Chains A and B, each alone.
Chain A
Amino acid sequence: NAGVTQTPKFQVLKTGQSMTLQCAQDMNHEYMSWYRQDPGMGLRLIHYSVGAGITDQGEVPNGYNVSRSTTEDFPLRLLSAAPSQTSVYFCASSPTSGRSDTQYFGPGTRLTVL
């Protein structure tokens, strides 16, 4: 049981490049989400999914796309990277989005956009 895994751990992009941050969980969780963590801002929700085939926007969705074709995987796509997207990205999952559900976080991807 690996929990929530994220790849890559580190990435450097040039402005305008695209890439996909991978997230997978092996706990059969319905709910998955992406956050970004910036100094002085705390963690902010980018996108979330309540189940396979269902996604929705969070607080800061611009510049990012997501899809959820399977229960296990929830990739985050940067369409055209910008320096403002330099951040640490965390994926999280929980059994559902219910009141008693603890969220489990991955180890993060540190992204730098030059």
Chain B
Amino acid sequence: KQEVTQIPAALSVPEGENLVLNCSFTDSAIYNLQWFRQDPGKGLTSLLLIQSSQREQTSGRLNASLDKSSGRSTLYIAASQPGDSATYLCALGGGADGLTFGKGTHLIIQP
């Protein structure tokens, strides 16, 4: 059974810093890996999707990487802003079987 771990569980950094969120998984037989953002009391918003054949994806200040051989993904956030404060979830896709989620990293960007 796929297990997804996100480290750290919580992170607080000053505004402007670059930061890295980590996601590790146990089974490399995946369709894709997605990073989501969840604001308090809200649904999930997809940030980036990396297909199993890809190594990274970029969107604005966000860059996500995927290394299947080591079972790891990272989400890099450049020049962090207070509006980036949220919970970030990593999820692995196995096709029709849906997504397997990590428990998330709660990020606070201090103004």
On A, residues with C-beta under 8 Å from B are 4, 31, 33, 35, 40-45, 48, 50, 56, 58, 90, 92, 97-100, 102-108
Number of interface residues of B (CB under 8 A): 27
Tell me whether B42 and A40 are in contact (CB under 8 A): no
- Complex interface: chain A residues within 8 A of B96 (CB): 31, 48, 50, 56, 97
In angstroms, Cα B103 to Cα A40, docked, is 7
Chain A residue contacts of B41, Cβ below 8 A? 108
| A33–chain B nearest beta-carbon distance, Å | 5
Checking B42, B53, B97 against A45 with a beta-carbon cut-off of 8 angstroms, the contacting residue is B97
* Structural contact, B104 and A42, CB atoms closer than 8 A: yes
**Set B31, B44, B53, B104: member contacting A90, Cβ < 8 A:** B44
Report, nearest first, the 10 A-B pairs whose CB atoms are least far apart: A45-B98, A105-B44, A97-B96, A105-B43, A43-B101, A42-B101, A107-B43, A42-B103, A99-B31, A102-B46
